[in-house]
Amino acid sequence: MKLGFYTYSYIDRLQMEIESVFEAIAAAGYEGVDISATWRDDIDPALMSSSTRGRYVRAAERFGLEIEAVITHLGLVQALRQGLPLNLRGAVDVARDVGARIVTVHIGFADFSMAETGDVWRSAVEHLKDAADYAATKRVEIALDGVWKSFLAHSPELILRMIEDVRSPGFRHNFDPCYLALSGHDPDRAAEMLGAYSVHAHIKDYSGRYPDFQHRIPGEGALDHFGYVKTLAAAGFNRYLVNECFIEAPLDRALSVGYQTLTAALAVVGKSQCAGSAEASTSRPSL
């Protein structure tokens, strides 16, 4: 496994410069970065200029970082209902241009009646299949982001059902232990179920309980980071663990504390187990 850092809070929300953020990430020891599929306040990935995409590429090359994933922010359910430009194909094009292998997408919020009719689920499946099939032609994977209590897919079982229904080699999962725990699921058990279908992981921490909780830097909250990392490795996961922090966390502290937490978890797993997972992860099971 490798360690990455999620840049959206700092580059897009706090409007820090790409180059200075990448330099700090590399100096802290990380090997990769997640970038936003959109630029600053834009909501359509197609609006990201070629010059901005070029800046990302040049900064990554300069500081020896891999841009491993491109992150979308609109929920799919809301985008479909309100006609918002989630534009997963556009996000795939951004990923292709910056050399990333992953595009993540949130399934979005859904109330009980929406989920029960089946229409919303079928619309989401059709949209995700179209995007995933397009992504596969660009050697990019769409990763369904995190389980969340009020999402259309609000359990590990529903994530597996979505993967089965989309049925595309370009569609997998982005593992998020924090939101699993806040939604009432055991991250270790979820890692057993989802690890073999996961191609990326966003790692944050929390204090409090849903819905009254706060995001924390990994290692400063309630999560046991050793357990799910060990289970993911055993399931064959050998991709990026990405430290995802929010604007309340100063960049330097977010980088250092998160790095210490995740390297300690990887040390417990052991280099041999992480290396051995590479062969297992090359062939993902079919549902």
Q: What is the pLDDT of residues 39-96, one digit of tens each?
A: 999 999 999 999 999 999 999 999 999 999 999 999 999 999 899 999 999 999 999 9
Residue count of the chain: 287
Q: Which of 206, 209, 243, 210 is nearest to 221 (CA)?
A: 206
Q: How far apart are CA 133 and CA 153, in angstroms?
A: 21
274, pLDDT greater than 60: no
Query: Mean of the pLDDT values across residues 174-179?
Result: 98
Q: Which of 55, 198, 260, 250 is nearest to 33 (CA)?
A: 55
Task: Please state whether the peptide bond connecting residue 211 to the residue before it is cis, i.e. omega within 30 degrees of 0.
Answer: yes
Q: What is the pLDDT of residues 99-148, one digit of tens each?
A: 999 999 999 998 655 555 688 999 999 999 999 999 999 999 999 999 99
pTM over 0.75: yes
**167 Rama sector, left if φ>0, alpha if ψ -120 to 50, beta otherwise:** left
Q: How far apart are CA 30 and CA 51, in angstroms?
A: 25
For 88, which DSSP code? H
Q: How far apart are CA 3 and CA 33, in angstroms?
A: 9
Listed by start position, the domains of the chain span: 2-281
- Architecture of the domain made up of 2-281: Alpha-Beta Barrel (3.20)
242, pLDDT greater than 70: yes
Higher pLDDT, 3 or 280: 3
Residue 285 pLDDT class (50, 70, 90 cuts): low
